[in-house]
Structure 1
Amino acid sequence: MQSYDTFPSTGISPAATPRPGRDEAEAVLVEHYPRLVRLAHLILPPTLGRHRRVLAAHSLAQKSLAAARSRPGPSSSRTTGPRSGPAVPAQRREPVPVPVPVPVPDPDPGPDHGQGPVLAWLRSRVVSAALRAAARPRWSLGRHPLPAVLGLRLFPRAGGDDELALESALAAVAPEVRAAFALRVLEGLTAQSAALLLAAAGVTAPHGALRAAEHLRTTMGSEAESLLQGAEFDPCTVQARPTDLLRRRHRTRLAALAAAVLLAASMTAVLTPRPEAGGPATSATALDVAAARAADPELLVRTPGERWSDTARVDFTAWPARGARTGDTALLSRALDAWARATDDRTARRTGERAGARAGDVAALRVTVTPDTQATPPAAPARLLFAGQVDGSAVVLLHDGGRLVRYAEPLTGQGGATLELARADDADVTTGAAVAVSRAPLGARFLLAPWIDESAVRDLLRPDVPARRLAVSDDGVTDPVPPAPGDCGRLPALQVRSSSRIVENHSFLLADLGGLNPAHLTWTPPPGTGAPARQPREATSAAGLAAWARSACALPDLRGTGVRAVNRWEFAQQTLPERAGRATWTCTRAENWDGRARVTVAWEGPDTRTGPTPVRPPGTQAAHTAACSRFGQHVLAGTYWTAPSGARYYLAAGSRALTTVTARGPVSVTVRGRFLAVRTNAAGPVRLTGTLPGTVELRGWGESGEGAGGS
């Protein structure tokens, strides 16, 4: 770590420091240039932008030399004439009382203590200039003639999570607090010397600034100094990236028109009285700072490649950044810009087109938002999951902790870009296992999680046909998964297996329902005799695949609804009258990311060629319901059924905890247990109720009409 010499303990203060000669000041400035630029960079507001903030810091440090004396002279002699710099109060005999909890001892001046007065004078000039610059309006900051950089953007290298937290904390405080923090932590000044320097720089309440800085220092802990010395806060070690190359020609074409407009505007301004100057400019809010950081492609979070294999949080936060264009700053910037422009929630929800600029051409940005997903810009730097070329498009996949964002633009330059947002909070090893990155006529390609070892495609309607291996590229992108036809003749699904490095022998099914996230398919078998309540399990067993073969044709109805997982629960198996076989009662719960669900109760006869017969819910079904979930494990349903002999029956069955079943209406009967089968010629709706232990009444699902057909 680089160490800096400090001089408060030697009696040198802003009041006691004369103007040095220009040659002497230049020599000290060149030697200590990095620390002075870093000091100015820390005080300047982050809302200035990383490029302009770096250039402004260098400009302020270089302009500190302007007030030095043009003629050389001994730096130890005091000047008697007026000074060109700001007036500085004399040193008081009594120390300035600053209530700082833990004072930092003054370090040793070091071998170059002869430069102490000159360095202290330069430091005072830099702090004063930076505080004055921070108080000016945002549009006027950073507009200095030198240094100037054309065609490039300069910015410090991005740090880690700790540096990001410190930068956010510094952005949320006032400039004088940042100055006090830098003087105390980075420069190592005592509280008394820092207060004198701040007062000389025009700070009206240096004591309050120091208290706030000490609070910030206590919050960040002992790592504050090492963090300030890191690359995140070093404006002398910067990265260079080109500006938007494709927009330059477009801007050049507009230059002539803009010049004419400015000429006309300047003529109008000459004839228009100027308004009086307003009040002091207000500081940018922390929200503005966060938005600026979120739009910076260099701050995108990139997870280390092997973190997924040694973490207890196996979700999208463990995905590394993959793809051949993860270093394409221009592409990432366009993706973030498109996300920031997609703020009209009403327009986004109807999948409308909004005007936007991409690659220098005016094109349409088509935005798709799945239900109950916020169509707002990111509030913090998002995580980069993928950036590469897929099926003729450049695709960027991002995750902000609660949402997945897919940006795609055609490589041919024809057509508009697309942006798709989907909710993905509280994902896990299954719901965070795959994301759709491309949809083409041949099918959808998926980016698989790094913990997926095996992938295959199987037809849900043909459980006896083995799954077909699905090829995956080195970046984790699958071959196309064929789309399902409209006649339910085929229903492809992904069958994947997790790596043994996180869980053993874990395979599961994922169904593509048209969104970014495929839905996780599970199965709950019927209750066993004397066995405890069954729990949902993976549907990759022979019994689970056979069960889903009877319900799969209902999956296309869920396309575009934001479904996270679908569970098929076989809550009862009933022996039919006249030895007609066994019927299965099912409850299928398709659950969204926000907890809402679509619940369907159905009756399935012994003839597998006939589909399930849905039964009507009791009253109006609410979107937020616990039915058929772990918090709604009781269900009762009934339907009419015609036996092969032509006799008509009313059937009802309930889950394992029911003690009695009662039917009222065209059919009036009460039976003990959880099954009811009564012969009747009646028709019309039947009111079903069941009794649970503790005399709790459960209202049943039923229907009117002819009901189920013969077996």
Structure 2
Amino acid sequence: MHLRSLRPDAGGARTRVRQAESVLVEQYGDLVRLAHLVLPASLGRHQRVLVAHSIVQRALRRARTARTAPAVPSPREETRGGDTVERRLLVEVLRAALTYGRRPRMWPAGWVHPGALRPRLPLVWGLRLFPRSGGVDELALAQRLSAAPAAARAAFLLRTVHGLSDDTVHDLLEAADAPDVPAALRTAGVLEEESRRSPAALLASQEFDACALQAGPTDLLRRTRRARLVLGVAALGLVTAVTLAVADDGTTHRTASQVPTAHGVPSTTDLVRTSAGTWDNTSRVDFTAWPARGSRAHDRSLLDRALSAWTHPRSRIGLAPATPATPPATAPQLLYAGNVDDRAVVLLYDGQRLARYTETRSAARDPELSVARADDADVTTAAAVTLTPSGGTARYLLAPWVAEAQTRDLLHPDVLARALHVSKEGVTDPVPTIPASENCDSRPVLQLRSSERIAEHHAFLLAPVGDLSPVHLTYTPLPGHGTPPARAPREATGPQALLAWAHQACSLTSLRDTGVRAVNNWDFAEQDLPDGGGHAVWTCARADTWRGSGDVTVSFRTSRYAPAEPGRTVARARATAACSRFGQHVVAASGWRSPKGHWYALAAGSRAVTRLSVSGDVTVTKQARTLAVPAPHKPRVTVRAHLSTGEDLDAVGTPGT
């Protein structure tokens, strides 16, 4: 939407009213989109839609009478003019969305602003309304926006969709009393850079359209229970009132639920329980949206033992790398409590860590507690948790948004995935795990698909390597071939991705007990080899941990390799930003023996490399991204690259074996 430069208001109140109403009707969809994007995601999708429409409709009354300072010019005419209706509407919508639910100055802490509780039109009973889900790119953008401040989201939309300049956006946000406007503009710029597709096209999709909605019923059983509960409470209140009126001895009674927890230590009654439909009504799709499941979710004795094992550990806790052993500061969220095979299992989450408690099912003996980081989990990394890790198989508890579960073997990319049975509670049948030995006969992984309410046709791979959370596997394809370069990893479910992972699958054994969150295979270069050596593809595999650091392994494979033959390791590096969005350039070199027995020095660089300089047993410089030159027996070479940015780049890490 581009703002039209209307003439400044001149005339009577009736003219201003008609003009404001006309502009609001004409631009209603864009204004609702703006309010919907700026409102806090914690409202949930249904409530946020209703509040967005309410804000825009209430803005009409204020905008038709308000007097604000200089107008926002048209993006095509960056000149200042008089006050316009469009500007007043934008300012009022922004101000209302930015301040929604905000505690006013001098307002008591912990109190909710009464304006956030006042019923406003539109009101909807018995239905939930929310925008239709977009694709993977839209979901990724929504997750990034939910983590950004409201003012930054507003600046992002005004710049990309409305096409306004930074000065104009700065003026609008200041008029709307937005906090720290310069920081909001900087964050908006970062959001634009991180979008691999046009931000304007993504924001114009159905994911962010608060006017094109789909409807669904609320929880009918819950509504029935609530109606009965209301009647019961009303009857109880009446009896209590009569009793107090008859026998009031002047004393104060306190129920057990009103007694504060001693010393701030959480108890079983304090455990957070999320309702079953939360995942479908929130933009935060992670462990916080998991409902409490399992046949023993109300077994207080079991929950007491599990919580006590975490808050008052009497034995050693199994900690994943870089995971703090401190007890939870507040009552954790209950994700699962039930019987799995011969063990009783309780799964807890404190917002940063997962804790799995198990004990012998028959006699409540042999307790075990494992704790691992799970901060900043998302729709994929919060999709499954290991319930039974011992032995060569494991069962997994799947997220409520997983619509389909399958298994496949990475070493057989041409074999279709097989269906995996999942119970009503979300527990899978036993699944083979990746063995700890170097034996590479199979590499089983989970292939899951999210519900279309989250993202259409979104399938992804998770590798079970023994940790609480399976490792998310992704793929970044080669640049070129008539398609734009991928700026972000893709799900590793396509034929090309599966073929690339078949050559890397055996390396997954090394990830056991390392706290790895995700591994991305980036095919960064390709070249034709001499002496009929075939076509080579260079890969940088980056393993990111939950603590943020990452290790990389550079390798190459040729078309002469068998489908599951491991690629040849060229270099390794630990705790590096290489091959990530913070290290987008890579270069590597290696010696190679051709099918005819001749030795060559090979080198390759990523897309921005313009010149390669090889030294060591071979010295050569070439204006290219790849090279292959004759070399002595088993040459030892290093390479340095020159980038299109004018910078020089050293090879990754140390030579591999």
> Normalising TM by the smaller chain, what interval?
0.5 to 0.7
Task: Give matches, 1:81-100, under 5 Å.
Answer: none
User: Which residue does the alignment assign to 1:310?
Assistant: 281
C-alpha change, 1:467 and 1:655, in structure 2 (3 Å) is: same
2:255 & 2:631 partners in 1: Cα distance?
87
C-alpha change, 1:608 and 1:300, in structure 2 (3 Å) is: same
C-alpha change, 1:461 and 1:682, in structure 2 (3 Å) is: closer
User: Which residue does the alignment assign to 2:584?
Assistant: 633
2:558 & 2:606 partners in 1: Cα distance?
18
Q: Give the percent of matched residue pairs that are identical in Structure 1 and Structure 2.
A: 48
The answer to whether residue 111 in structure 2 is matched with residue 220 in structure 1 is: yes
1:505 to 457, 461, 469: 457
User: Which residue does the alignment assign to 2:516?
Assistant: 563
2:567 to 608, 612, 623: 612
The Cα of 1:239 is off from its aligned counterpart by 6.7
Tell which deviates more after alignment, 676-685 or 574-583.
676-685
User: Which residue does the alignment assign to 1:662?
Assistant: 613
* Secondary structure of residue in 2 paired with 1:517: coil
Task: Give matches, 1:186-225, under 5 Å.
Answer: 217=108, 219-221=110-112
User: Which residue does the alignment assign to 1:532?
Assistant: 484
1:635-660 Cα shifts (integer Å, max 9, x gaps) = 11111111111111111010011010
User: Which residue does the alignment assign to 1:401?
Assistant: 351
The Cα of 1:295 is off from its aligned counterpart by 2.5
Task: Give matches, 1:96-245, under 5 Å.
Answer: 217=108, 219-221=110-112, 236-238=254-256
1:488 to 440, 454, 459: 440
C-alpha change, 1:564 and 1:659, in structure 2 (3 Å) is: same
Q: In the alignment, is the contact (CA less than 8 A) between 1:660 and 1:691 conserved in 2? A: yes
* Secondary structure of residue in 2 paired with 1:220: coil
Q: In the alignment, is the contact (CA less than 8 A) between 1:637 and 1:702 conserved in 2? A: no
1:427 to 377, 384, 394: 377
Gaps of 5+ in 1: 1-160, 162-213, 241-288, 343-355, 357-364
Q: In the alignment, is the contact (CA less than 8 A) between 1:435 and 1:516 conserved in 2? A: yes
Q: In the alignment, is the contact (CA less than 8 A) between 1:686 and 1:703 conserved in 2? A: no
1:652 & 1:290 partners in 2: Cα distance?
64
1:495 & 1:652 partners in 2: Cα distance?
35
1:502 & 1:422 partners in 2: Cα distance?
26
* Secondary structure of residue in 2 paired with 1:471: coil
Larger Rg: 1
Task: Give matches, 1:381-530, under 5 Å.
Answer: 381-413=331-363, 415-441=365-391, 443-485=393-435, 486=437, 487-529=439-481
User: Which residue does the alignment assign to 1:207?
Assistant: none
User: Which residue does the alignment assign to 1:690?
Assistant: 641
1:11-56 Cα shifts (integer Å, max 9, x gaps) = xxxxxxxxxxxxxxxxxxxxxxxxxxxxxxxxxxxxxxxxxxxxxx
* Secondary structure of residue in 2 paired with 1:616: strand
2:527 to 541, 558, 574: 574
Q: In the alignment, is the contact (CA less than 8 A) between 2:525 and 2:604 conserved in 1? A: yes
Q: In the alignment, is the contact (CA less than 8 A) between 1:291 and 1:378 conserved in 2? A: no
| Equivalent AA in structure 1 for residue 641 of structure 2 | G
TM-score, with length taken from structure 2: 0.60
* Secondary structure of residue in 2 paired with 1:335: helix
2:110 & 2:364 partners in 1: Cα distance?
52
* Secondary structure of residue in 1 paired with 2:504: helix
* Secondary structure of residue in 1 paired with 2:431: coil
1:340 & 1:419 partners in 2: Cα distance?
11
| Equivalent AA in structure 2 for residue 499 of structure 1 | S
1:218 & 1:421 partners in 2: Cα distance?
34
Gaps of 5+ in 2: 1-41, 43-104, 118-232, 237-251
1:572 & 1:470 partners in 2: Cα distance?
36
* Secondary structure of residue in 1 paired with 2:339: strand
The Cα of 1:414 is off from its aligned counterpart by 6.9
1:264-314 Cα shifts (integer Å, max 9, x gaps) = xxxxxxxxxxxxxxxxxxxxxxxxx88844421101111111010111000
The Cα of 1:606 is off from its aligned counterpart by 2.1
Q: In the alignment, is the contact (CA less than 8 A) between 2:539 and 2:555 conserved in 1? A: yes
The Cα of 1:330 is off from its aligned counterpart by 1.5
2:109 & 2:498 partners in 1: Cα distance?
58
Q: In the alignment, is the contact (CA less than 8 A) between 1:307 and 1:318 conserved in 2? A: yes
1:90-139 Cα shifts (integer Å, max 9, x gaps) = xxxxxxxxxxxxxxxxxxxxxxxxxxxxxxxxxxxxxxxxxxxxxxxxxx
The Cα of 1:443 is off from its aligned counterpart by 1.0
User: Which residue does the alignment assign to 2:199?
Assistant: none
TM-score, with length taken from structure 1: 0.55
The answer to whether residue 220 in structure 2 is matched with residue 329 in structure 1 is: no
The Cα of 1:498 is off from its aligned counterpart by 0.4
The Cα of 1:215 is off from its aligned counterpart by 7.1
1:221 & 1:575 partners in 2: Cα distance?
66
User: Which residue does the alignment assign to 1:589?
Assistant: 542
1:394 & 1:235 partners in 2: Cα distance?
38
1:235 & 1:686 partners in 2: Cα distance?
82
C-alpha change, 1:217 and 1:691, in structure 2 (3 Å) is: closer
2:380 & 2:433 partners in 1: Cα distance?
21
| Equivalent AA in structure 2 for residue 695 of structure 1 | G
1:132-184 Cα shifts (integer Å, max 9, x gaps) = xxxxxxxxxxxxxxxxxxxxxxxxxxxxx9xxxxxxxxxxxxxxxxxxxxxxx
1:665 & 1:530 partners in 2: Cα distance?
36
| Equivalent AA in structure 2 for residue 422 of structure 1 | A
User: Which residue does the alignment assign to 1:644?
Assistant: 595
| Equivalent AA in structure 1 for residue 336 of structure 2 | F
The Cα of 1:221 is off from its aligned counterpart by 4.8
Tell which deviates more after alignment, 406-415 or 583-592.
406-415
1:235 & 1:679 partners in 2: Cα distance?
91
* Secondary structure of residue in 1 paired with 2:326: coil
